[in-house]
Amino acid sequence: MSILYSPGERLLTLHTRHTTYQMHADEHNFLRHLYYGARADGADFRYLQRNYDRGFSGNPPELHNDRAFSLDTMPQEYTGFNAGDFRVPALCAVHADGSYAADFRYAGHEIRPGSYDLPGLPAAFDRDPENSMTLIVTLRDTASALSVRLYYGVFEERDVITRAAEIVNDGERTIFLEKAASACVDLSFGDWELLHFHGRHCMERQPQRVPLSNAVHSVESRRGMSSHHHNPFTILCAPDTREYAGECYGFMPLWSGNHKTEVEKDYLGSVRVVTGIHDSQFRWNLGPGEHFYTPQVLFSYSASGFSALSHQYHDMIRYHICRSEYVQKRRPVLINNWEATFMNFTTERLLNIARQAAELGVELFVMDDGWFGARDDDNAGLGDWVVNERKLPGGLDPLIDGLKELGMRFGIWIEPEMINEDSDLYRARPEWVLKAPNRPPMYCRNQLVLDMSRQDVRDYLYDCFAGLLRKHDISYIKWDMNRCLADVYSNALPPERQGEMTYRYVLGVYDLIGRLTREFPHVLFEGCAGGGGRFDAGMLYYTPQIWCSDDTDAIERLDIQHGTSFGYPPFTMGAHVSVCPNQQTGRSTTFYTRGVVAMSGTFGYELDLNRLSSSEKDEVRLQIAYFKKVQSLIQNGVYYRLNELDEQERYCAWEFAAPDASEALVNLVVKHVQANAPLIHIRLRGLDPDATYTLEDTQERYSGAALMNGGYTFPMFWGDYPSVQLRFLRAD
């Protein structure tokens, strides 16, 4: 059993393969958090808590003479508000009488086999319900009809515990939620640092590690999406934690909108993490009998460093988050026309690129922005999802038929959530746009945002894209989103419900993409938001891959993909070889190095192959052939970062190892070649120490123990951004 209840002690204990999580309903029905860390069978962690009188820490009404008993110092599972705990709260509720208060007490629990669902929200699933369990703990406010049901999903073999909250109004008057976090965890002891992943457009998910001060640290987005700037995934780690040693905790919301993770180190040195939807511009009217569900969060703990934590998240996403058949299915090598043509193309120009691509081994052609409406630039056409026959005479079929003759499949770019004022849709339905009354809108890329909370908007978009997919043989959809949300106001909601819009917007996106992916399960969907602006586990529930960044520069991509890998597996990262000098940085990198970097994602091309030299075309043939040979290893293998964060300036090294240790692919890119430099030396991971391995290119033989303990020393490197791939195959 992975969930245990001790009725005499009122202990609830959750076990995964390597971790234990424990809580206690005390004699006053406060639900105390006791422990989360390395597995400890049979332990009762109540002994860790000691109460003392702490000045200015108030006491509950029934214990007002016991100055040592205070919610302000008690580790809790889910906190109320305005009831004596002055730290960051998990919930803020306003009652019909205007009072701000919630004093939650334990009121029971239930244990179920299998995982749990959340209405309208992505949630971890288990195809075999015997491999997971669910605990639901009910907390009730002492003076109102407000209750919270805390969901804990235990995925024992993955070392992951999922968390979510269902907030219920069992009364007769509306309660207003002004904050509704998904989860809270209190760590009473330890010295912790925060590792988070900040960035910007074209430089997403850059790791930044900072010591916790006695303050509240916040990682958040108010942009209407998870954002390029602050990814929702965060890690708490001990100061000595490295890739392969040390303690760390991960917190990953399955949410694609405004998010907030608050980490507070209080005056006693205790650390509280509260994570979920952002409370800015949020106010939910919870009517009588209504339920509000928070997004799910994936908790995971490792005592063996960042690499083990990453593997736990990678496996969780692979087996329990992504639903697409393409998680296991081989994905085609593609070419996208964007950096080759932008919006200036015709059917013949696209087919001309495709002919060369097919000759070199590319399998899928993706037509990007510019194929619909009056779409010649960013200023018109969004919302009018009708083929522009001036560019594509006869519609899509002549292009698709031409690609089929070449042995290629067809993919297409869409941006469902956006609209231009210069469009037939806007002229017909201006009320469908997010826009504050009596105010001019904020523009970005000269486009506005459709109100995805509206059923009529979603139905229109569904009819557009479902019709497109039913009529044409389309194998791939790139779903883009190219601006943040502002002027958030819905014409379909009354004034008192406008605080619900940012949440309802994301639920609308999930609803639309869920309908399309369910009806068209054989289509490969790729998420995108100006590159990696919505790279999160919520979107990965619907799309098995996301365009990692609009920055296709191979050297910048090293850092972007490295940071992304802490929480998200490489098979989710859209990555392409592009032209040099690079269109974002002007940097020139060898064709070989561009291929090495792109192979660590989904792999494809984003350039006009006709403009390459004959030697470069030969390289493309070799790259595609080699990628197909190692694609299963890259897509299904175990990913290892082979250098630490503080070694990234000089070089970046990573490895894919087969789960059965039959082979490994080592990749190295030198970012800074130095004169008379120290040799680069790495230790491989994931091999069988008792086996012998052959280096494919040289047939040199090494034992697995030697490669993992003694390591491998590279020769001197020369030139601009050199790279190498080494494939080791088990010889016996």
Question: What is the per-residue pLDDT across 573-611, written as a single tens digit (0 to 9) for each?
Answer: 999 999 999 999 999 999 999 999 999 999 999 999 999
DSSP secondary structure letter of residue 459 = H
102, pLDDT greater than 80: yes
Question: What is the per-residue pLDDT across 373-416, written as a single tens digit (0 to 9) for each?
Answer: 999 999 999 999 999 999 999 999 999 999 999 999 999 999 99
Residue with tokens 């979107």: 539
Statement to judge: residues 616 and 681 lie in one domain: no
Statement to judge: residues 592 and 454 lie in one domain: yes
Residue 696, φ and ψ in degrees, nearest 5: -55, -45
Q: What is the mean pLDDT of residues 536-559?
A: 98
2, pLDDT greater than 90: yes
Please tell me the predicted confidence (pLDDT) of residue 130.
82
Domain span at residue 625?
A: 325-636
- Enumerate the β-bridge partners of residue 665: 656, 727
Alpha-helical segments (H) within 578-700: 591-598, 614-636
Strand segments, DSSP code E, in 486-568 are 524-527, 545-547
Residue 252 lies in a domain: no
Could you give the CA distance from residue 308 to residue 315 in angstroms, rounded to a whole number?
A: 11
Residue 431, φ and ψ in degrees, nearest 5: -75, -10
Statement to judge: residues 461 and 598 lie in one domain: yes
Domain boundary among 592, 611, 636: 636
Q: Which residues, 6+ apart, have CB-to-CB distance to 159 below 8 Å?
A: 16, 17, 18, 19, 300, 301, 302, 312
Residue 254: exposed, middle, or buried by beta-carbon count in 10 A (0-12, 13-18, 19+)? Answer: buried
Statement to judge: residues 563 and 692 lie in one domain: no
Alpha-carbon 365 to chain mean position: 26
Q: What are the respective helix, strand and coil percentages of the chain, to the nearest 5? A: 25, 30, 45
Statement to judge: residues 317 and 425 lie in one domain: no
Residue 155 lies in a domain: yes
Q: Report the catalytic residues.
A: 536, 616
Could you give the CA distance from residue 492 to residue 278 in angstroms, rounded to a whole number?
A: 22
Could you give the CA distance from residue 375 to residue 379 in angstroms, rounded to a whole number?
A: 8
Question: What is the per-residue pLDDT across 444-470, written as a single tens digit (0 to 9) for each?
Answer: 999 999 999 999 999 999 999 999 999
- Residue 421 gets the label, from left (phi > 0), alpha (psi -120 to 50) or beta, of alpha
Q: 254 is written with which tokens?
A: 């399955």
Q: What is the mean pLDDT of the chain?
A: 97
Could you give the CA distance from residue 384 to residue 712 in angstroms, rounded to a whole number?
A: 56
> How many domains does the chain contain in total?
3
Residue with tokens 């280096």: 695
CATH code at position 556? 3.20.20.70
Q: Which residues, 6+ apart, have CB-to-CB distance to 467 below 8 Å?
A: none
- The bridge status of strand 409-414 relative to strand 476-479 is parallel
Could you give the CA distance from residue 647 to residue 653 in angstroms, rounded to a whole number?
A: 10
Domain boundary among 271, 305, 321: 321
Residue 74 lies in a domain: yes
C-alpha separations of 557 from 12, 553, 597 in Å: 44, 6, 7
The answer to whether 415 and 425 have CB atoms below 8 angstroms apart is no
Lowest mean pLDDT among 31-45, 416-430, 634-648: 634-648
Q: What is the mean pLDDT of residues 325-345?
A: 96
Residue 18 lies in a domain: yes
Statement to judge: residues 389 and 530 lie in one domain: yes
732, pLDDT greater than 80: no
Statement to judge: residues 707 and 599 lie in one domain: no
CATH code at position 157? 2.70.98.60
Instruction: For residue 655, name the pLDDT band (cuts at 50, 70, 90).
Output: very high
Statement to judge: residues 90 and 119 lie in one domain: yes
Express as a percent the part of the chain with pLDDT over 70.
100
Please tell me the predicted confidence (pLDDT) of residue 648.
85
The answer to whether 283 and 276 have CB atoms below 8 angstroms apart is no
The answer to whether 266 and 87 have CB atoms below 8 angstroms apart is yes
- CA proximity to 362, closest of 589, 598, 157: 598
Could you give the CA distance from residue 370 to residue 631 in angstroms, rounded to a whole number?
A: 31
Lowest mean pLDDT among 59-63, 348-352, 714-718: 59-63
Domain boundary among 321, 351, 378: 321
Question: What is the per-residue pLDDT across 487-534, written as a single tens digit (0 to 9) for each?
Answer: 999 999 999 999 999 999 999 999 999 999 999 999 999 999 999 999
Could you give the CA distance from residue 58 to residue 392 in angstroms, rounded to a whole number?
A: 71
Residue 217 lies in a domain: no
Lowest mean pLDDT among 120-129, 310-319, 397-406, 547-556: 120-129
Count Cα atoms within 13 angstroms, Cβ side, for 712: 28
Statement to judge: residues 316 and 330 lie in one domain: no
Statement to judge: residues 563 and 650 lie in one domain: no
Q: 381 is written with which tokens?
A: 């056409």
Residue 250 lies in a domain: no
647, pLDDT greater than 90: no
Instruction: For residue 37, name the pLDDT band (cuts at 50, 70, 90).
Output: very high
1, pLDDT greater than 80: no
The answer to whether 284 and 172 have CB atoms below 8 angstroms apart is no
Instruction: For residue 65, name the pLDDT band (cuts at 50, 70, 90).
Output: confident
Question: What is the per-residue pLDDT across 610-645, written as a single tens digit (0 to 9) for each?
Answer: 999 999 999 999 999 999 999 999 999 999 999 988
Please tell me the predicted confidence (pLDDT) of residue 628.
97
Residue 694: exposed, middle, or buried by beta-carbon count in 10 A (0-12, 13-18, 19+)? Answer: middle
Residue 216 lies in a domain: no
Q: What is the mean pLDDT of residues 540-566?
A: 98
Statement to judge: residues 631 and 656 lie in one domain: no
Statement to judge: residues 508 and 528 lie in one domain: yes
- The bridge status of strand 545-547 relative to strand 524-527 is parallel
Please tell me the predicted confidence (pLDDT) of residue 128.
84
Please tell me the predicted confidence (pLDDT) of residue 446.
94
Could you give the CA distance from residue 558 to residue 205 in angstroms, rounded to a whole number?
A: 11
- Which pTM value belongs to this model? 0.98
Residue 465 lies in a domain: yes
CATH code at position 689? 2.60.40.1180
